[in-house]
Amino acid sequence: MASHQSVFETLKNLTSVLVKGGSYLETASKISAIAFDKTGTITKGKPEVIEVEVFEGTEQELLSISRSLEQNATHPIAKSIVKYAIAKEAQILKVIDEQKYC
């Protein structure tokens, strides 16, 4: 079990952190490897779409649908999708019922 001093030393240099109990810190101390994406979410605080893989239809169709559904969203991931779609010149489609497939 980690001592209070070691927990304090770990956290004192962080600018913000939310920990909902010591058991989570105990578990984190057992981690031997961790992987992060490199899309800017951690480094810049802003997610960024860097690549799209399409399994059905075309990339333009997918980006047009995505842009149309996300254009009014305020979530950072939605904003990154819209930004990417705009950069790829995806068209805005008329959305009739965005809840239909949810």
Which amino acid makes up residue 15? T
pLDDT for the residue numbered 102: 47
- CA 41 to chain CA mean position, Å: 6
Q: What is the pLDDT of residue 29?
A: 77
Q: What is the pLDDT of residue 46?
A: 76
From CA 54, how far away is CA 60, in angstroms rounded? 10
Its pTM stands at: 0.55
Q: What is the mean pLDDT of the chain?
A: 79
- Tell which wins on pLDDT, 58 or 10: 58
100: left (phi over 0), alpha (psi -120 to 50) or beta: alpha
The model's pLDDT over 4-49, given as tens digits with 9 standing for 90+, comes to 666 666 666 666 666 677 787 778 778 877 766 655 666 666 788 9
In the prediction, which pLDDT does 32 show? 79
The residue that leads in pLDDT, 36 or 87, is 87
Which residue carries 């305020």 as its tokens? Answer: 74
* Catalytic center residues: 37
Which residue in 39, 11, 99 sits closest to 2, CA to CA? Answer: 11
Instruction: Name the phi and psi angles at 36, rounded to 5.
Output: -120, 150
